[in-house]
Structure 1
Amino acid sequence: MTHHPNWKTFLYLAAIFAAFFWAQWDDHRAEWPESDNLVAIQQEEAARASREFAGQEVCGPGALAQWVDDKTLTCTPRRGQTYTVAGGTK
């Protein structure tokens, strides 16, 4: 009797595991469809917090920092004139 690799058993087990993992993934996607939206919201909140921190660092403590667009910041100090800070372009 010759020894042959047990390929059929391997393929059966691989199919069973593939079906199991697919079912788990499908169940997760059905249960949490808004998870992609939550990630997008978290990224937007992190970007907003980063902009606020950068604005306070550039404008100074107590000044109002308002972002006009992604690269233009308007600073309004407690006393004095409002001024604009523009980011450089490459």
Structure 2
Amino acid sequence: MTHPNYSTALYLAAIFAAFFLAQHLDNTDHASEWAQSSDLAAVQQEEAAKASREFAGRQVCGPGAVHEWIDDKTVTCSPKRGKVYTVAEVKP
């Protein structure tokens, strides 16, 4: 007749308990990192939109002209020589 090995079962239970306890104690909250990454994504999106508008302004007005956006689709061009003019329906 064989006897169950209780000490082995107890050691295995202790190892599993230690593993799950370590997992539970290591469960840190990363909510602040998610907020920071959302802020970073918003800043990157704003910078990309600004770069797109600058590129579109240079394309419409030319490389030597100063451009100023009036609204989302209208830009005023001030060339080095000549008169100031406005271009409507520009897609940045």
Give the TM bin, normalised by the shorter chain.
0.5 to 0.7
Shift of residue 28 of structure 1? 2.7
Give how far 1:75 is off: 0.4
Please tell me whether residue 37 in structure 1 is matched to residue 33 in structure 2: no
Unaligned runs of 5+ in 1: 1-15
2:50 maps to 1:48 = yes
Distance 1:85 1:39 in 2: 31
TM-score, normalising length: structure 2: 0.62
- Measured in 2, the distance between the counterparts of 1:48 and 1:72 equals 15
RMSD over equivalenced CA pairs, Å? 2.3
Percent identical across equivalent pairs?
60
TM-score w.r.t. length of structure 1: 0.64
Distance 2:42 2:33 in 1: 18
Superposition misfits of 4+ residues, deviation over 6 angstroms: none
Superposition pairs of residues 1-90 of structure 1, within 5 angstroms: 23=27, 27-87=29-89
Could you report, residue by residue, the CA deviation over 1:63-90 in whole angstroms, capped at 9, with x for unpaired residues?
00111110110100001111000007xx
